[in-house]
Structure 1
Amino acid sequence: MRRLLLSLVALMSCAAAAAAPLELHRGVGVHEWLNWAPLAADGSYRWPPYGTEAEWLTRYRPASDWPAGDPVAAIGALGFDFVRLTVDPGPLLATEGERRQEALSVLSAAVRRVTDAGLKVVFNLHSVDQVPQYGTNYINAPADTDEARAYVAMTADVARMLAPFADRAAFEPFNEPQHYPCDASGTDDWQQFMAASVAAIRAVSTKLTLVATGACGGSVTGLTDLRPAFDDPNILYSFHMYEPHLFTHQRPSEGHDFASGLPWPASAGSPEAVVAALRAHMDAAGLDAGQQARNLDAVRDPIAKYFAEGWGQSQLEARIGAAVDWARAHDIPTGRLFMGEFGAMLMPPDGTMGAFRADRDRYIAAVRSEAERHGIAWSIWEYANPWGMSVIEPVGPAVPDRSMLAALGLAQ
Structure 2
Amino acid sequence: MSSGTFKLPTDEFRFTSEHISIGEGRKLYIDPSIWCIHGEYEAFDKYIVTRSNVTAHLVQVHPFTLGWIADLHSGLNLPDNVREQIDRLSLCNPTVTVFGGDIVRGSGEYSGSDMEDSWFQSVWEYAKDRLSNQLWLKGNHDIDPNRDCYYNWFERLWVLKVGRFKFVAFDGYNEQTLCPGSCYPCLSLPDILWLARRLREDDLEKVILVHQPLDQWCVYCPWVFREANITCAYAGHSHDIIYAQGPYKEIAGIPDYINGSCSEEVQLRVATLTLFAGDGKERSVLVEGGIGMREGGDEIEITTPVTVNWKKEKVTSVVPIRLARRISGHYVNLIACLPSEDRGSVRIKSTLRGAKITGDVEMYVIGKDIYSEESLYDSWVCSCGAMWNSYRAMPGRAVELELLRS
TM-score class normalised by the smaller sequence: 0.3 to 0.5
Structure in which a larger fraction of residues adopt helix = 1
Structure in which a larger fraction of residues adopt strand = 2
Structure 1 length as normaliser, TM-score?
0.35
Structure 2 length as normaliser, TM-score?
0.35
